[in-house]
Copies of this chain bind each other. A is one copy, B any other.
Amino acid sequence: MKNITKTTIIAIAMILLVNGCHTINPKDSSKENTDIKTSAPLSSWNDGHAKQSIIDFVTRTTSENNADFIPVTDRIACFDNDGCLWTEQPFYFQLAFAMDRVKTLAPDHPEWKTTQPFKAVLEGDMETVMAGGEHAILEIVMATHAGMTTDEFSQVVKEWISTALHPKTGKLYKDMVFQPMVELLTYLRAHGYKTFIVSGGGIDFLRPWTEEAYGIPSDHVIGSSGKVKYAEIDGKSVLIKLPEINFIDDKEDKPVGIHQHIGKRPVFTAGNSDGDYAMLKWTVEGEGPRFGMIVHHTDSVREYAYDRESSIGRLNKGLDDASKYNWLVVDMKEDWKEIYKE
């Protein structure tokens, strides 16, 4: 299967499967700011060019008398999620969520035992699922998630993210967020930056847990989405998730998603794959000081090592042009003291 096809499939799965509205563990941002400003920032980053470049940029753009000073209202920082803020291997975590959802609902659908692609999902046969392509994924989505309210989807996501374990590490998926990136988000916010997620993943799969994991509230999450419809159940108004695509937040549409949600061109953007190329280019081509950053997966021991040939998180054009656009390429193996919080 070609990379572009897989991206599309995953995106469709993500936006149709999920939905959510709540935050879990509200943070006191004023306390956060004080903590960060008085202690050493980015402590999970090794000293070196990458760490220093970030600190230099933030210092320059937030020092009032510096020529590169950026007013608070323009301090917009955007981050891809899969592979940038958390791991995306052996396949996007949201696909794991979708598969688990099929298993949960299987008792109500005895026919799935003998019908593809459900049979393959129930048998854990990922190869057959993926071989079924877009059609198979769409079928899974529609059969399992049509007609639920956004509140119900939110609850489902919250339960999954609190219990499901990664097949390789045995960790909770939400514990596989990158500690150095969490520190970067916190460091930026402590200096007046608003931090946004700009993900190809489902906006409503992300929202139920991004506040707890990253300190990013639901209204700072941009992603792919399905259509929702206003309806009344027993006279009470609800929103129902429809099996229709609203927006795929990937590639050239990442700047579009940013424009529709934020209305400003970011000054700081981080990604890890060619799906982030347009967003990175659009960011650094704005006027004034800009920062583009690519997380390069180089650590096969502590995480995964992949780039130009990977079907998930492919990074090819981005590596070719990083120096041309002055994007910082972060070497996970060399630049990060730890990957996940211990």
Contact of A322 with B by CB under 8 A: no
CA distance A22 to B267 in the complex (A): 13
Name A227-244 residues within 8 Å CB distance of B. 228-230, 236-237, 239
A219 touches B256 (CB 8 A): no
Q: Which residues of B contact A230 (CB under 8 A)?
A: 252-253, 255-256, 278, 282
Number of copies: 2
Contact of A262 with B by CB under 8 A: yes
Q: Which residues of B contact A278 (CB under 8 A)?
A: 230, 237
CA distance A158 to B139 in the complex (A): 48
Name A265-285 residues within 8 Å CB distance of B. 265, 278, 281-282, 285
Contact of A246 with B by CB under 8 A: yes
Q: Which residues of B contact A264 (CB under 8 A)?
A: 21-22, 218-219
Contact of A261 with B by CB under 8 A: yes
B219 touches A281 (CB 8 A): no
Contact of A260 with B by CB under 8 A: yes
A131 to chain B, nearest CB (A): 32
Contact of A263 with B by CB under 8 A: yes
Contact of A155 with B by CB under 8 A: no
A15 to chain B, nearest CB (A): 11
Selecting from A37-45, A203-211, A306-314, the interface stretch reads A203-211
Could you list some 15 contacts between A and B, CB below 8 A? A20-B263, A21-B265, A22-B264, A73-B217, A203-B263, A204-B263, A218-B262, A219-B219, A228-B260, A230-B252, A230-B278, A236-B285, A237-B281, A239-B255, A239-B256
Please list the 5 inter-chain residue pairs (A to B) with the smallest Cβ-Cβ separation, ordered nearest first: A218-B263, A230-B252, A26-B73, A237-B282, A207-B263
Besides the contacts A218-B262, A236-B285, A237-B282, what 14 more A-B pairs have beta carbons closer than 8 Å?
Answer: A20-B263, A21-B259, A26-B73, A194-B219, A196-B219, A203-B260, A219-B261, A230-B252, A230-B256, A230-B278, A237-B255, A237-B278, A239-B282, A246-B260
